Structure 1
Amino acid sequence: METVSTKPAFSLASWFDFKGNNTNLRTEVIAGLTTFATMAYMVAVVPNMLSKGGIPFDSALTVTVLMTVITTIAMAVYTNRPFVLGPGLGSVAIFSYTLLGNDVPLGIAAGIVFISGVLFMLVSFLGVRDFVVRVIPHSVKVSVGVGIGLFIALLGFKQAGVVVADPRKNVLIFGDLASLEVLVAMLGFFLVLFFVSRKIQGGIILAVLLTTLISLPLGITSVPDSLFSMPGSIDDMFFQLDVMGALSPVYLPFLLAFFIPDFFSTLGALLGIGAQAGYLDKDGNLPGIEKTSTWTPVPRRLVPCSLARY
C-alpha cells in the first residue's frame, strides 16, 4: 500500500530555508513590513527628484515602484538574501540635477546610466568586485557602511527640516527646531532608538505608525483622497536610450560619477547589512557576493535610474 505524502509541493519555509537561517514566517513578515516602512519615503522622494529634471511625476512613480518590486523579488529568489533594491538617491540626484538640469537630452542621460549598468555587470561577472572586497582592509569596509548610514541619516534630517541648506554659504544649517514637524520627527527618532535598544520586534515600524498617528491631528500628515489609483504610463521613460550619444568623451565624467560611487555605495550597503545579519566571514567578507551583485545593474538597461541596497 502506497503512502501518500501530505507535505505541500511548495512552501516558503523550505524555499527560503527558514530553519537554516534561524527564522520563521512571523519574523519575516515583521521584517518585511519594517523594511517597507523605513524605505517608503523613496516612493515620494525619487519621483519628486526626477520630476525636477522634467520627467512626469506619475511616470517616475510607476517606474520606481515596478523596479523596486521586480528586482527585490529577484534578489530574494536568486540569492535568498534579505536585501531590498531601490533607486540610489545619489545617482538619481546626479541624473536629475546634473544631467537633465544641464539640458542633457533624456536619451543620452539614460544611455549614460545604461553604460554604467553594463560596466557594473561586467565587474560582477568577472569577479572583480569580489577581488576588491577581499583586498580592502576591514576597517575601511566598516567605515564605508557607517558613511552610507550617516548619508541616509542626513537625508532624513533634511527631509524633516532639522537641517536646511544655506545657499549664501553653500552649507547646511539647523532649521526651525521648535517647529511641529521637527519635534514630531525627533520624537519618532527617539522612539526608534528606544524600541531598538529594547530589542522589540517590529520596533521601527511601530515607531513609524505612532509618529504618523501623532502627525495626523497636528496637520503634519494628511489622509489621501483615495487609497487606490491607476499607475501612470511609463512611455515617457521606457527604453529612452541614446547609447551612441552617451559614448561621447564629453560625458565620460558623468559616467564615472555614476559608476564609481555606485560601486562603493552598494559594496558598503552589502557589507553593512551582511554584518548585521551575520553573513560575513571572519575576515569581514560576504560569501557569494557575486550573486547578490548580479541584479543591481539589470534595471539600468530598462529605466534611467541606478539601484542601491537597503
Structure 2
Amino acid sequence: MRPLYIMFAAVTILIAGCSTNSASKYQTRPFFLSEEDLATHGRKSGFDRLIETDPGLTDYVVATDYQEQPPRRIAVLPFVDHGNGEYIVDKIPLSFHKSERELDRWAWTHANRVRRSVSGEIGGREFEIVPLVAVDAVLADRGIDNWNKLMSVKPEELGRWLGADAIVYGEILDYDAYWAALISAWRVSARIRIISTRDGHQIFSGASHRYSVDLSPAFDPIDIGINSVLTLISLRDLRLARTEYEVGREIVMRLPTARLNVSALQSAAIEKERSLDEESEAPTTPQQTVQLDTEARSSH
C-alpha cells in the first residue's frame, strides 16, 4: 500500500509542476505573431458543407486594382429585402393578419440583420466603418428612405454625404424556412457590392447562399414522429441568427486584406503615440520598438 501511495504522490507533484510551468509561461508569451489559418478559419469548406448538408455557395469578384487603391473608410448602406417581410415556410406565407406597415417593418428587420453582420465583419478588418446609425441619420435627413431613391443617388454624392471612400449596397435574395417531417432548414441568401465613391467603379462583389439544415433520419413510426417534432423545433430564432451571421461572414472573408491599409493604420497609430510622448514631460514607459508581424495578413 505504501509504494502505491508514494507513486500517487509523485505523479501528483509531477502534474502540479507541469501546471506551474505552464501557468508561468503564458505571462511572458509574446504578442504580435503571425496568426495561423487566418484566411481559412471560420470559412466553410466543401467538407463542412457536406457534414452540415449545406448546398449553398459563395461567389465573389475582386477588382484588379484593389491592392493599389483599397478603400479606407466604408459606409454600409441600408440593405433591401427582395421578399415582402412575411414569415414563409415551404413557400407558404404564415404572417396572418399583418398590415402592410408591419410587413414593411419585418422586411426592414430581415435586411438590417444581415447588414449588421456585414458591417461588423468589415469593421473588424483594416477598414474604418461609418456607424450604421450615422449612415441612416444622413440618408433620412436627405429623404432617401427606400431602395429606388437610394439607387438614384450617384456613389460620388453618397460618399460626400457620408465621408466614405466606398459604399456597400446589399440585397437579401432569400429569407425563408423549410420543413418536411425529418428535415428542416433556414435559407438566407444575400448579395453585396462595394463601390468606390471616387469614380463609381466596382471594387468587390459577392453573393452567399446559406442553408442551415437539421436532418434527423428515422425508420420506426414513433421515431419519425419524435424526430419530426424536433426538426420543427429547430426552426428557432437562434439558428436563424447564426445563419444570418454566417452569410455576412462568408462574403466578407472573400474580401482580400488591403495591405496598404494595414501599413497606413500601423504607421498612423505609431506616429500618434510617439507625438503624445513628445508632448509629455517624461515618458512613463521604456521606449522599445516591437516589429509587428503582418505576414499572415498579407497572405489573406
Please report the TM-score for the alignment, with normalisation by the length of structure 2.
0.25
* Structure with greater helix percent: 1
The structure that is strand-richer by fraction is: 2
Q: Which fold has the larger relative contact order, with Cα–Cα distance below 8 Å and residues 6 or more apart in sequence?
A: 1
